[in-house]
Amino acid sequence: MSDTATVPGKSRRPAPEPIAPEKLAGAVEAVLLSIDRPMSLGKIAQALGLESDPAAATSVRNAIESLNKAYDESNRAFRIEQVAGGFRAMARPEFGGVLASLHGLKEQQSLSRAALETLAIIAYRQPITRADLEAIRGVACGEVLRSILEKRLIDIVGRAEELGRPMLYGTTRRFLESFGLASIKDLPNHQDFAPPVTAHIEKKPAQKTTEEGATS
């Protein structure tokens, strides 16, 4: 009789055989090239049968660094990047235009200026209510909010502790993936985008000169 308990009607997937150290980098590469979303070090280690190894995460990270070094030396078109709390093989930025043209992503996923402004405010001020968002932008944001909600770039993350308990909005994992960020902490300092402050000098109207040369 088997020592492994099974649920009636379901077969238990056998645990993968641990990967030999000399094949670790290749195995990590195979895993990351087969997924379409970021994968954490722990999940990668689990897929390779290394979850019982306390040093598995470090070994996987070292393998990723080794792969990226090889990619850089051979001028490969992609690298393994840390994004949205995990790792994923991604094309280098210089090839972004080619891929966007190929898949038609530029037209399908482009954001309007209003959407980008709204998304930026949410990213830097989250969690934020619609009222506060509209107070900052100075215009109604209902349609824009609906648009970026549908794109799953933001989500409702709670309710504010104030009259009416308005909904609070925040960015999502998809937002991090779309903008190539490992976490919200990687957002650029918003002060870097502030326009320089210049003194306002009130200009006096030019004086008119009469035919005799006198000013009026």
Domain limits, the chain: 21-96, 111-187
Q: Which of 66, 59, 99, 79 lies closest to 44, judged by CA?
A: 59
27-31: average pLDDT: 93
Predicted confidence (pLDDT) at residue 28 exceeds the cutoff of 90: yes
**In sequence order, which residues have a C-beta less than 8 Å from that of residue 206 and are 6 or more positions away?**
none
Please provide the DSSP assignment of 166-206 as one string: -EEEEE-HHHHHHHT-SSGGGSPPGGGGSPPP----PPPPP
How far apart CA 85 and CA 181 sit, in angstroms, is 9
Please, what is the average pLDDT of the chain? 79
**Of all residues in the chain, what percent carry a pLDDT higher than 90?**
36
- Equal CATH topology for 21-96 and 111-187: yes
Neighbours of 58 (CB within 10 A): 12
H or E stretch covering 216: none
Predicted confidence (pLDDT) at residue 26 exceeds the cutoff of 80: yes
**Which of 12-16, 53-57, 170-174 holds the top average pLDDT?**
170-174
CA distances from 74 to 67, 68, 116 (A): 11, 10, 36
- For the chain, the first-to-last Cα distance in angstroms comes to 112
2-6: average pLDDT: 44
pLDDT band at 4 (very low <50, low <70, confident <90, very high): very low
CA distances from 209 to 6, 120, 202 (A): 101, 52, 21
Instruction: Let me know if domain 111-187 sits in CATH 3.30.300.100.
Output: no
Question: 21-96 has which CATH code?
Answer: 1.10.10.10
pLDDT recorded at residue 127: 94
Q: Which residues pair with 64 in a beta bridge?
A: none
59-94 confidence digits (pLDDT tens): 999 999 999 999 999 999 999 998 888 999 988 888
105-120: average pLDDT: 76
117-176 confidence digits (pLDDT tens): 999 999 999 999 999 999 999 999 989 999 999 888 999 999 998 888 999 999 998 888
